[in-house]
Chains A and B, each alone.
Chain A
């Protein structure tokens, strides 16, 4: 499923939604917390009046253009209430929990979509959001197609053994690299790469010698992370980077971290894109379509 097809489907869904909803939700004011939830609502074409979002909602653009109530992990009840919401649909990691409790105490309906951060929960998340926004049928269709995409990805022939590293950003003197128990680790695994730093857990700062020792053949970063680092040249200048196969060959893939790591409806397609980029870079002759 390409991006254009996704856009077409979303548009069609929007149209159908607009024609078929009875307007049961039309007069409620919604606040959406969490980029993945916002993307899911857009993909479902839910006919709801979203009045505000949080800082992590960057897609779709019309949702990102709404006023923000702050960062979803550090909410303040009054700033959410300042947009006079009736309902809040929040990603599982929204918080602090006390603030959600305060919102409920004031009479706002708060629904938390508590989906674990893994690929198999994407479909479930879509169905749950669909239920909350009365788009069950569209939700089922979307969930089925996303699951099918993930299954196709899993069925691809294995890549040649490739050790890759995902750099989140640069913290002070050392890059912060994804270990296991991270969204990035799941993504690397899903496209058939070995995470060179899979032995450590979470995002950790990694020293120059560890880079040389783990010898990743490929670096994956988001454009934002790369910009913060100071561009591609700065990446290869990092201490120890020249001692890695990735540094010697200057093998880098830039990804859209929101789409790839948010585990929303765009993630399966993004995984496919990443897989194709890897194949192009490694010069393998496999065709993943």
Chain B
């Protein structure tokens, strides 16, 4: 009885500490949201105003006129959709080959690809930039799309691990039935690995959507920039005018797509992260 009571007390204590932590985690985000609705006086009010007296929605209309926010969203969408859809196809096809097909030097090739995980982007970004500028691709979306189409090594690694639990007998049986290798992939393998693919695709989508370093290198003209660059420019431009409500509205719009995706696919994302970490 005594030990039960003690454990409840620890639980309560843990709950309180975690709750306080949660307030700190969420406060900056709520502050962004609330500031975007504030009047100028409320932005600078001391002590801070958390709930504006009247909600000003003007800034959410202004941001579309004051900067290329819409084209930023479009550009980000074009890049992420192209990269993740085609890149996922090439990655899962390669994962299938690495996990289930027999060909000479297979493991050597796989290890070689894995070595790329150890090479940071900053180490290759300069020659990549020179290469793409020779193609005349600077200030287009191509340098941000094309490399991704060739697949994602982390995804190949993850899907290959996932496929090792699929019995080889299924594939042998399909072969005897006269199925082509691509048929085996599209009719048997892909449906089997679909949950893993979905989880990896979401993670990759978020990474490409939120990327900042590669876009800042390649994209100069405002109408070519991705959403992340557009809001960073908003920040730099309107800071002088201290129009925080405007900056916060733009930032919140930039946060929104991923927040929605996360809330919808929360379970898959969390599971996928957990699996890749524990197995990796």
A, B: real partners: no
Residues of B within 8 A of A (CB): none
Residues of A within 8 A of B (CB): none
